A and B are shown apart, each in its own frame.
Chain A
Amino acid sequence: MEKPIQDAWNTAYTRANEKTRRIVVDPITRLEGHGKIDIYLDENGDVDRAFFQVPELRGFEVFSIGRPAEDMPQITSRICGVCPTAHHMAATKALDDLYHVEPPPAAKKLRELIYNTFMLEDHALHVYILGGPDFIVGPDAPAAERNVVGVIGKVGLETGKRVIVMRKRLREIISYLGGKVIHPVFGLPGGVAKGIAPEDLPALREVAREGLEFARFTLQVFKDIVLTNDEYMKLITSYPYTHRTYYMGLVDDENRVNFYDGHIRVVNPNGEVFARFPARQYTDYVAEHVESWSYVRFSYLKPVGWTGFTDGFDSGIYAVAPLARLNAAEGMATPEAQKAYDEYFAALGHPVHYTLANHWARIVEMIFAAERIVELLDDPEITSKDIRTIPTAVPTEGFGVVEAPRGTLFHHYVTDERGIITKANLIVATQNNSARMAMSVEKAARGMIHNGVVNEGLLNKIEMAFRAYDPCHACATHSLPGQMPLVAYIHAPDGTIVQELRR
């Protein structure tokens, strides 16, 4: 099936230079990393095909080979300036597996504590800074207001300050346990490097309490601004933002959402369980499809197969990240999050196929993360000094999985008997979502560009389609952007530029 599909896409691409008109949106605003959307219009000015392209980091595997596996939590945390903690934790768990060692309960709790703190902080950032402009400011607001300053204009100065202060305080918890956020020195095979001193608990609990208040407040902001606005709700549930795919997420023993540990659960487009497996079996379930027009590999469910960029039961395309996690689970492990989860599904049905509902799901997860932080800090074992099991076995092969803010993250290492890496593979969250995201871009373009009529508001709605996934492409690079952030070129059928839109 792959060859004909690929040929079809390639043909469409070639036609861009012939009879189609082309719109280029490049690069994407507010995304971590540069991206480009090419939209090809036919002679009627309708969308022929749309391609979402991003540069991808290269060379990770080569970089890793020959290095001690123990360095991986530090190395991998440095490949991303956005979610270092997710890579650090996935790598640490892969080392547990590699060295066949089980961390003591307190070590697992400390890891879960730092991890939920990171999730809360990162999700808050997306809600207010990255995705917030679409929903808090409004999808049709002028571009100049669709940014963090616009968000503050809407929610108020005090709330703006609260976001900054809260993030800073949450990061202090991460720093307390792991040192610098970007280069955490925390996870070790079999445990963690540092515990919590009992005398420091009150201050940490105070931050946790504020974090929970902040998460509740964020849910209220979302309800007040988004859920009371019929136009937003129509947009969330509209056809261009709907795909009936499979969904993947980590769950605990009772099939409730867990960010740090558990089994990977996959549900089908009806929300029925399709698979439940440990990280070790990921290669039985996840395969990668390659397209000539993209650097990105498209993950799909191996048992279902690749049938092109299409949804439904017969297509192996699946989603990860908040929307998918809630769909793939049967509930939340904390009371207020469970309540928010119930409200969410009562409003949108089960499973939720609306891409833009990711924003709401993200806030449900913020409540869970915040409650879990409180629970963990109230756990008497959290100050235990038994935080490391020293590995003694010969290393072989290790698998680690966590739920990054942007979805399921796999780390897989193979080493020689000295623990030197001979093979390394990462499947990052955004790659798991890449096929669905490509579909979202094309569908949004089809639904919102007709007869060659294109305006900036419409382009923003196309961007909204993938921004909801909170994608993170080429995440390690920090270079300043060298171009105007958003440029749309509209080409006449003969290839000449007839219109140019800039932000």
Chain B
Amino acid sequence: MKRELLKFGVFAILVLLAPLLFSGGYLMNVLVFVGINTMLAIGLNLLLGNAGQISLGHAGFFGMGAYISGILTATYAWNPWFAMPLAAVVVGLLAFLIGFPILKLKGHYLAMATLGLGIIVFIVFNETVDLTGGPSGLSGIPNLTMGSVTFDSDVKNYYLIWGFTLMIVLFAVNLANSRVGRALRAVHDSEVAAKVLGVNTSLLKVQIFTLSAVISSLAGSLYAHTMTFVAPASFGFNFSVELLTMVVIGGLGSVYGSFLGAALLTLLPEFLRAAHDYDIIIYGGLLMLMVMFMPGGLVRGVPDLFRKLFRRGKESGHA
């Protein structure tokens, strides 16, 4: 546990110091997105990496958080600090109720059911025009404020989002190393064996699904208040797949892996912009290479790579 605290401390310091290194406006904005995506990837990783349950509908929970916060604050002039927890409670309750029937399914069937859930939510965003503004989106969402500070610049938003992200990182690390985390990994490995040890597997799966949805909803609310505008396109099936890719590329079951995956998949398209029309090919190719040569994800693959390079360097030095 001490080692975990040390890791977290180093990570937190790096995060807090990053704005000093990249004070450029646009990159700060991208780093805000890295924070939001890290939260989402951690939420999904708890479900997929720890408990072994897939979800192709997490963009839906993300969107629900964003829209509930957006509508309550923009249309009904609520205080964002009240809208945010309410959105989390509503999304959590919904996930809990849907969780029971859905999580009885396994493997491909669970993937299909969550896929359907995501698509239904997406259709609701598009069609309930009076409420959500439909395909053209919902604007006029206020920024969060704290006392006299309004979070309206990239640097302020960076600290706001990463404050939340760091809390979620700490929470997820603690959870993974707890009795519940062990039980989740047991469910992942053998549900029957977990059952006969007294783990209520069906309830545990629903609980982790709910927790994962609540984290997504929170990320959604924060997204709405930093962007001040939401549109359905950000919460479609593609984004669910992108989240899944972040988790797998980063490293299943690893909190810091979630961060690496989210950072890579958020930053890479920005850097590849220089390659103009070829960016999508390079992007796809890189992902393929990573899956082929780092099946354990970045969090395990990168240290291995360094070890190999270092060893090879040494050997050639002797020769």
Q: Answer yes or no: are A and B bound together in one complex.
A: no
